[in-house]
């Protein structure tokens, strides 16, 4: 199943390619986020990974919109030749997942801290 998904993701990434040379964003984070959106888009083509792919796509779209709100995504994805240049699809997917996992852990830790603070406040009120 993983091979099928990776093959599907690769075919989607290659389908985005064209003979025209794509503009390369100046910001390497933008390039990485565009790669992650391409990987996420490929994931949405598989029913098993559709929901996860949408979540990944929205996360990276938010990163892009926060950094470069006027970025022309249609233009970037119309000629994304070299989007995975120097990086395999598996490496891109792993990198994207690691970023999301780190941010998710940070949010989980914040939530746990808030719960602990509330419990402490309730315990103080009870004494």
Alpha carbon distance 40, 5 (integer Å):
11
Alpha carbon distance 18, 14 (integer Å):
8
Three-class DSSP category at 125 = helix
What pTM value is reported for the model? 0.67
Domain ranges, residue 65: 2-126
Look at the chain and report how many structural domains it folds into: 1
Rg of the Cα atoms in the chain? 19
Say if residue 4's pLDDT is above 70: no
Alpha carbon distance 116, 127 (integer Å):
17
Contact 38, 6 (CB under 8 A): no
Per-residue pLDDT tens digits for 82-118: 566 666 777 888 889 999 999 999 999 999 999 999 9
For the chain, percent of residues with pLDDT exceeding 70: 71
pLDDT at residue 116, as a whole number: 94
Per-residue pLDDT tens digits for 37-81: 988 988 898 999 999 999 999 999 999 999 999 999 888 887 655
Average pLDDT, the chain: 79
């Amino acid at each position: 199943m993983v091979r099928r998904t990776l093959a599907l993701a690769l075919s989607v990434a290659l389908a985005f390619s064209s003979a025209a040379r794509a503009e390369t964003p100046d910001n390497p984070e933008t390039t990485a986020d565009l790669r992650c959106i391409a990987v996420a888009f490929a994931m949405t083509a598989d029913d098993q990974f559709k929901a996860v792919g949408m979540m990944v796509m929205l996360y990276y779209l938010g990163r892009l919109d926060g950094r470069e709100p006027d970025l022309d995504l249609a233009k970037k994805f119309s000629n994304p030749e070299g989007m995975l240049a120097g990086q395999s699809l598996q490496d891109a997917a792993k990198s994207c997942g690691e970023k999301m996992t780190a941010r998710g852990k940070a949010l989980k830790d914040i939530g746990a801290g808030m719960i602990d603070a509330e419990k402490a406040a309730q315990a103080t009120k009870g004494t």
